[in-house]
Amino acid sequence: MSRPLFLFVLSLVAAPFFLCADDAAAPEPMGLGKCIAHAMKHSQTLHMAAIDLDTKQLQTIIQRAVFDFEFNYTGKADVDAQSVGHDASLKKRIVGGFDATVSTGLEDDREGTGDASYVTLKLSKKLLGTDSTFFSTRKSIEDSLTEELKTLNELHRQRREVAYRVTAAFYQVIRNLQSKTVVERSLARARRNLENAIEREKPLDISTARIQVPDNELSLLKAERSIANGLDTLKVIMGMPVAQSLNILSEFQFTIAKTDIRIDTGFAMDNFETLINNRLDDRKLRGDVRIAKQELWPDLNASVTQGWDTASDSHNFRGGDDSLLFSLGLSWKLGRRKDRAEWRKKINSLRRNSRNWSLLSERKRQKLFDLSRQLDERARNIDLQRRKIALVTRQVELYVDRYENGEIDILEFIRSQNDLENAKVESIKLETSYMELLASYYYEVGRWPVPGVSEPDDNAPPPQGPPVD
């Protein structure tokens, strides 16, 4: 078998293996929906937010543990007296400033002088001061639940923000991909113009055409670099390793959206997570003011203790001694300067949060009005750019005829072609930037930022606000 024939047969046998390897190496192109779904599962930002939420939930468990039962046991032995004693107590804190304690003890005298035992029931209540009411004793739990809701709302906001950032990076790559296609056509056209100029044997046209080729090659290199950088940015947002290959679908459906700034502004005031959390802070701070005001009063404690004890070996409390003790304690730091200052600080925090609400709401309105104006302006620009492309396309057709008839030189012909390609690139930029603006607008409103892509269902609850009075 001759060497050329052997190489030909070998290429036919090996070709399927190389084709399979290329297919395995090339990842399946991903659309915007798949990119967002991947980010919802793998975004490091969302993973950290989920950890923060778990931490807040654990803090709520810690606060609830204040009301758990507390058991204590003490064993003692007197070596000289040869006696052994046991003491045990069970304590329970109850909402409303109550504390209940059951204590029991046993002393075993090994010299035979007799055993002793006792049982005590104690109920205490704080009548005035800190932790004297149902509200004040549950305040720490309520605050922890509020922080948990705020963190949950922040997780929901970050989910929407990640979806918006993926959308912006996705359309940035699409813009670069489609611009690259235009540049490739410009480069191919520049090479054809050079061939035509060489055939015409016009030195000036040849020189002009040769300049256009490297210019378009440089533009192509720039477009390829922009695509690679854009894909890396998208990978980081999606939680994908930068070294991993990523292909995206370069086609997208462009439509002009209908928005109502009045309805959307009202929706944002009620549903944007930052504003919801401000209202949760307001509820929390009002409770702090209420607690701080209670601390201005003296601390007044009352308790009742019922005890039974016996010195018989049978430990029968019916024949033993019992006692009933009432106690009342009063403590008041005269002047209460520190407590009054703390109370005023809480009031200032509440007032500041109210001012912050006004600032946040007005900034939100300003942002939405600005985005709404930009969307209207961009929609008009897109319509005008489409008209311009139609006019420039007609102009290029006329210049082709004039150039072929020798009425104009190649410089004017190339200029008209460049005008058409620049108009197409500008149209791509306008359409993709409109989609980015639309995603930003919906995000700022508090809605899912990608209308054409359904929100992934990963059991994340919607944002939670304070109950309506």
Q: Give pLDDT, residue 84.
A: 80
Residue 468 inside a domain? The answer is no
Contact between 456 and 42 (Cβ < 8 Å)? no
Within 8 A by CB and 6+ apart from 200, the residues are none
Same domain for 310 and 369, yes or no, is no
Are 312 and 423 contained in the same domain? no
- Looking at residue 159, which CATH number applies to its domain? 1.20.1600.10
Ranges of the chain whose pLDDT falls below 70: 1-26, 79-82, 109-115, 132-134, 200, 205, 311-321, 410-411, 456-469
Q: Which amino acid is at 125?
A: K
Q: How far apart are CA 241 and CA 259, in angstroms?
A: 37
Q: Which residue, 320, 335, 350, sits at the end of a domain?
A: 335
In the chain, how many H helices and how many E strands?
9, 6
Output the CA–CA distances (angstroms, integers) from residue 301 to 67, 95, 123, 355, in the order listed.
Answer: 19, 15, 11, 39
Strands (E), 270-393: 299-310, 321-331
pLDDT at residue 114, as a whole number: 59
Collapsing DSSP to helix, strand or coil, 29 comes out as: coil
Are 162 and 256 within one domain? Answer: yes
Assess contact for 451 and 438: CB atoms under 8 A.
yes
Q: What pLDDT, on the 0 to 100 scale, is given for residue 9?
A: 47
Give dist(CA 462, CA 153) in Å, integer: 8
Residues 6 or more apart whose CB falls under 8 angstroms from that of 188 comprise none
Please check whether residue 392 is in contact with residue 419, taking contact to mean a CB–CB distance below 8 angstroms. Answer: yes
DSSP state of 295: T
Shared domain for 432 and 357, answered yes or no, is yes
**Is the residue at 463 inside a domain?**
no
Give the pLDDT score at 6.
46
Dist CA 101 CA 123 (whole Å) = 7
Is there a single domain that holds both residue 285 and residue 309? Answer: no
Instruction: Please check whether residues 141 and 228 belong to one and the same domain.
Output: yes
Q: Are residue 278 and residue 397 in the same domain, yes or no?
A: yes
Q: Are 73 and 86 in contact (CB under 8 A)?
A: yes
| Contact call for residues 111 and 82 (beta carbons, < 8 A) | yes
Q: Mark 404-431 as b/e (b = at least 16 C-beta within 10 Å).
A: eeeebebeebbebbbbbbebbbbbbebb
- Is there a domain that residue 276 lies in? yes
Are both 316 and 403 inside the same structural domain? no
**Does some domain include residue 81?**
no
- Report yes or no on 440 lying in a domain: yes
What's the domain range around 314? 97-132+300-335
Identity of the residue numbered 74: T
Let me know if residue 191 belongs to a domain. Answer: yes
Q: What is the pLDDT of residue 466?
A: 58
Could you say which of 335, 350, 383 is where a domain stops? Answer: 335
pLDDT of residue 451: 78
- Residues 214 and 321 both lie in one domain: no
Q: Is 303 strand, coil or helix?
A: strand
Query: What is the structure's pLDDT at 68?
Result: 85
Given this model, what pLDDT does residue 350 score?
A: 94
Say whether both 102 and 191 belong to one domain: no
Instruction: Find all residues with CB under 8 Å of 327, minimum gap 6, and list them.
Output: 301, 302, 303, 304, 305
Cβ atoms of 183 and 216 within 8 Å: the answer is yes
- Of 276, 310, 335, which residue is a domain's last? 335
Whether 108 is in a domain gets the answer yes
Tallying the residues shown for the chain, one arrives at 469
The number of distinct structural domains making up the chain is 2
Beta-ladder partners of 121: 102, 306
Residue 95: per-residue pLDDT: 79
- In CATH, what number is assigned to the domain containing residue 311? 2.20.200.10
Q: Which residue has the tokens 């302006």?
A: 377
Summarize pLDDT for 399-424 with one digit per residue, the tens.
887 877 777 776 677 777 778 888 88
The answer to whether residues 375 and 250 belong to one domain is: yes
Question: Which of 389, 386, 366 has the alpha carbon at shortest distance from 434?
Answer: 386
Give percent helix, percent strand, percent coil of the chain, each to the nearest 5: 65, 15, 20
Instruction: Decide: 142 and 287 in contact? Cβ < 8 Å.
Output: yes
Q: In this structure, are 238 and 140 located in the same domain?
A: yes
Taking the C-alpha atoms of residue 421 and residue 392, their distance in angstroms, rounded to an integer, is 9
Q: Is residue 11 part of a domain?
A: no
The predicted pLDDT at position 8 comes to: 45
